[in-house]
Amino acid sequence: VAVRKSTGERVVLKYEQKGSFKHQCRVMNGIKTSLDLHHPSIMRLYEAIDAGDTIVLVQEYITGDDLFQYIVDHGPMPEPLARTIFHQIASTVLFLHERHIVHRDLKPENVMVNDDGNIKLIDFGFSCDISNGALHTSSCGSPNYAAPEIVSGKPYRGPEIDTWSLGAVLYAMLCARMTFDGHVQDVLTNIKSGTYEKPTSLSPEAQNLIAAMLTVDPEQRITLAQVMNHPFIRNDEAEGAGRPSDVDKPLPRLPDDDSNDGDISLTVPQVVLGTSVRVERTGSNAEY
């Protein structure tokens, strides 16, 4: 954690090794996307500093932890809580799609949740611009959350793969386990066939939404706009807790960790490019 001299605000410094050419391309892609995005639920990238073999990313300071860790610590989320958090995530991704950006690596590790239950979407290294309407063929992201067309190497438009990933994220939130888990080849096979353990303990609305998002045929898969109007999200037929914004105290307080805090002054040299990414879970990302 550091403090910017120019504003006095706390920021987080992330050090990205330039590494291989492929890694540099991913970092620079995330940088370009992040610098153009301004949304309360997207982690801000203020600037990036070229420091030789390293790029220093100056990012928004956020309390709390990522959604993956929250699930590990607290187990399955009650549906009203999951609805609140998921509504924020889905509406943020819809914001991206409306600006012709597809994230392509949606997973709990890439969603930060602060102490008040507000989310911040991070890591745009695999994002792509879909404004020209061209089909994409890159297979990237995290296998456990990747859509069938991604793991099969089929062309895709883009928004539909984010919708699939969000279905896997919602499943993880409600069940505290991954939809598709195990040996990599088994995971890929099950994704292609849409084979997963059905969450029968959930409400009919939650089960229906997950199934609609995890539809193998992208032409039959629910759209994100339709997700936002689904009964589980709107809560018209659910247990009656009201719309997502009406749920009080969405998260238990998470313990503060000030072990890395310090009154560090940050002098910013020449700005090049940067990205709003957080250190990832080991082995969670791959190109395949």
**Alpha-helical runs (H) found in 61-146:** 67-74, 79-98
Sign of CA dihedral 3, 24, 275, 251: negative
CA distance 73 to 77: 11
Select which of 36, 50, 105, 248 is catalytic.
105
Task: Say if residues 150 and 159 touch (Cβ distance below 8 Å).
Answer: no
Report the distance separating Cα 3 and Cα 62, nearest Å: 13
User: Under a CB-based contact definition with an 8 Å cutoff, are residues 124 and 30 in contact?
Assistant: yes
Task: Give the CA radius of gyration of the chain.
Answer: 19
| Known catalytic membership, residue 116 | no
What phi, psi does 243 have (nearest 5°)? Answer: -65, 160
Q: Where are the alpha helices (DSSP H) in the chain?
A: 21-35, 67-74, 79-98, 148-151, 159-175, 184-193, 204-213, 224-228, 231-234
| Residues forming the active site | 105
